[in-house]
Amino acid sequence: MIQEGRVTSMEEVFMGGYQVKEPQIVDALLPDLQEEVININLVQKQTDAGEKSRFKAVVAVGNRDGFIGLGSGKAGQVRNAIEKAAASARLNIIPVRRGCGSWECGCGKPHSVPFEIDGKTGGVRIVVVPGPRGLGLVASEVAKIILGLSGVKDCWTRSYGSTRTVPSFAYAVFDALKQTYNLITPSDWVK
């Protein structure tokens, strides 16, 4: 559909309800996509042949302008685990609705989140609260990376639970960002 020119933007992919099946499609539609390795873990597994080590990577991708993806991948080599995670992050890409949900600010520009959002994964919970322009991202390092890649510039965050579990924490932030579109219909977010 992209080759035929029937789909020319990521917005159309989501509005049309299409599923992205190849990571390359995301790169073609979002040429400014950036990639960040969030975490790498060594995973030991007991097999009949003895102990087997594999690496698990978590990678985030985003265009700093309303799209964010998070994915993980496992492989015997770090480089391959990152590649798999990066491909999976592209397939998991979602639109993020931004806004000025800050009562102190009220500028109406899309520099923060439109309202308070809440995400949960594993034993971790994060609440992202709209902040005024110029505040920056008041968040942990991992949350800063993911929020920044999504295009959110100013917000406060509160987190609960085992926040040092980096993969769960990253997925909790991603889950929160999904909420920005959960309560509205696709026609709302083209604006």
Considering the complex, state which of residue 13 and residue 113 has its C-beta at the smaller distance from Zn ion. 113
Q: Which stretch binds Zn ion (CB under 5 A): 38-46, 49-57, 116-124, 131-139?
A: 131-139
Per rule CB under 5 A, is residue 105 in the interface with Zn ion?
yes
C-alpha 70, offset from chain centre = 5
Residue 166, Cβ neighbours under 10 Å: how many? 17
Q: Which long-range contacts (CB under 8 A, 24 or more apart) does 103-107 make?
A: 104/132, 105/130, 105/131, 105/132, 105/133, 105/154, 107/133
Least distance (Å) between residue 129 CB and Zn ion:
13
Which residue, 75 or 135, is less far from Zn ion as judged by CB? 135
**How far apart are alpha carbons 155 and 31 in whole angstroms?**
26
> Among residues 30, 82, 100, 145, which is the contact residue for Zn ion, using CB under 5 A?
100
Q: How far is the CB of 111 from Zn ion (least distance, A)?
A: 6
* Region of 34-42, 71-79, 127-135, 163-171 interacting with Zn ion (CB under 5 A): 127-135
User: Which of residues 90 and 153 has its CB atom nearest to Zn ion in the complex?
Assistant: 153
Stretch that binds Zn ion, among 13-21, 40-48, 94-102, 166-174 (CB under 5 A): 94-102
Query: Smallest gap, in angstroms, from Cβ of residue 126 to Zn ion?
Result: 21
> Nearer Cβ to Zn ion, position 10 or 105?
105
* 170: enclosing H helix or E strand: helix 166-178
Residue from 107, 183, 184, 190 in contact with Zn ion (CB under 5 A): 107
Nearer to Zn ion, 54 or 64 (CB): 64
At residue 125, φ and ψ (nearest 5 deg) are -130, 140
Q: Is 85 helix (H, G, I), strand (E, B) or coil?
A: helix
50-62: strand order across its sheet:
34-47, 50-62, 67-75, 94-95
> Any contact of residue 136 with Zn ion (CB under 5 A)?
no
What does the alpha-carbon distance between residue 6 and residue 170 come to, in Å, rounded to a whole number?
A: 34
List interacting residues with Zn ion (CB under 5 A): 100, 105, 107, 133
